[in-house]
Amino acid sequence: MMMDVMVFKLPSFKFLSPNSAAARSPAIIRCSLPRFSLSSIPALATTGREGDQTLSSLSLGHITRPDFPILHQEINGSKLVYLDNAATSQKPISVLKALQDYYETYNSNVHRGIHYLSAKATDEYELARKKVAAFINASESREIVFTRNATEAINLVAYSWGLANLKLGDEVILTVAEHHSAIVPWQIVAQRTGAILKFVTLNENDVPDMQNFKEIFSKNTKLVVVHHISNVLASFLPVEDIIQWARDVGAKVLIDACQSVPHMVVDVQQLDADFLVASSHKMCGPTGIGFLYGKSDLLSTMPPFLGGGEMISDVFLDHSTYADPPSRFEAGTPAIGEAIGLGAAIDYLSGIGMQKIHEYEVELANYLYESLCAVPNVDIYGPKPSETVHRAALCSFNVENIHPTDIATFLDQQHGVAIRSGHHCAQPLHRHLGVNASARASLYFYNTKEDVDAFIQALNDTISFFNSFK
């Protein structure tokens, strides 16, 4: 591509001066990582091509891509390469059809009507709740509360359980790597109750220090709020161990599973988590809905989060009584179509198999990390993968002396590659890493190694372009 064409295609934007802190010691090692092979690949996704012998040689990404219409388009004259899945995932045809079917054939409010449309909508809405419960192996569907998103789910726990149970001097343990939605609500609760927030720092491998984590517990610890997989570091936390440490001091645990539920098998009964949150839009479902899992004995003791219709038992002029969970926490008309769409997404993911998705993404994760390591002057955050240390299929990184927003803009405008730049709702973590922002490429099961190759080629071109000004 000629340089004058490249300049012509670029939007009018001010080139940002690279943050001096963003240029850490460059990670320019060529990695030699173990190759992970899939034991098997599904014969089909939802495209109905059973028996096609050519599928046996295709990756899960190649098999499932036809189910996602949005992936088959050009952006700025280039084939779209969508690598922003940690922010939101794309939606398969089956989810789009489920939404359309609801609005076209049985759109109605739930729980309050006796006519056919209302009964049908209610049945499908509650079926979606059962699907969520089965997907994470909750013991019963009433342990699933639908919310607008995972952020609201965390706020529900903070304002309902937190304000009712935390007092002056009580301690809440978090890590510096938490998403803002797992920090800010507890800051508000701490200000109101006098509780103390304690943060686990990172070790030399840029992951939360487990020794520090174990030692930070005390007799005053009442709650642990922790991610399962970091949306920046790509690291997995040993939440089973953390939950056991919490049990030893009588503390509760809330797991932010937004980056794990869409990508691997998550079993809340096996984990023994007290609370767990996730978002539909990161797992092939619609935006506008997420869920809170809570143990039934905990939910039953928690006061309402919002007041209004549906969450009541009886309303008098001087007081009201409240419904049992989950209705107690679902005031007003819920996101009916979105819940049904989430149910369709779970059907789709379950049809593939979460273990199969996880195995394929482990392979993609290593390929992405190894490929990015080969790019000069790139600093990747989080642990180096090995036989014992796995990374999620994402890489947050900086390139020496080039601002991540410049990188993301050029990739989009010149190559049709969609990644994210910024602090990824993790400003404390970025400050701890010594940078203000990073670029992030994140994959899902419908991505392929060819997507990674296209990204790396485009990134090399981007770096060459900006280095030409030096």
C-alpha atoms less than 13 angstroms from C-alpha of 53 in its C-beta half-sphere: 0
Whether 425 is catalytic: yes
The rounded radius of gyration (Å) of the Cα atoms in the chain is 23
At residue 442, the pLDDT reads 98
pLDDT tens-digit map of 412-443: 999 999 999 999 999 999 999 999 999 999 99
At residue 56, the pLDDT reads 60
At residue 386, the pLDDT reads 87
Q: Which residues of the chain have pLDDT under 70?
A: 1-56
Contacts of 100 (CB under 8 A, 6+ apart): none
Instruction: Give whole-number Cα distances, 349 to 58, 113, 223, 242, in Å.
Output: 18, 32, 32, 28
Say if residues 212 and 201 touch (Cβ distance below 8 Å): yes
Average pLDDT over the chain reads 90
Q: Which of 31, 258, 284, 425 is catalytic?
A: 425
Amino acid at 33: L
Contacts of 164 (CB under 8 A, 6+ apart): 302, 303
Is the pTM here over 0.85, yes or no?
Answer: yes
pLDDT tens-digit map of 104-151: 999 999 998 999 999 999 999 999 999 999 999 999 999 999 999 999
* Residue 197 tokens, joined: 């927030």
Domains recognised in the chain with CATH numbers: 60-85+354-468 (3.90.1150.10), 94-351 (3.40.640.10)
* Residue 262 tokens, joined: 């869409």
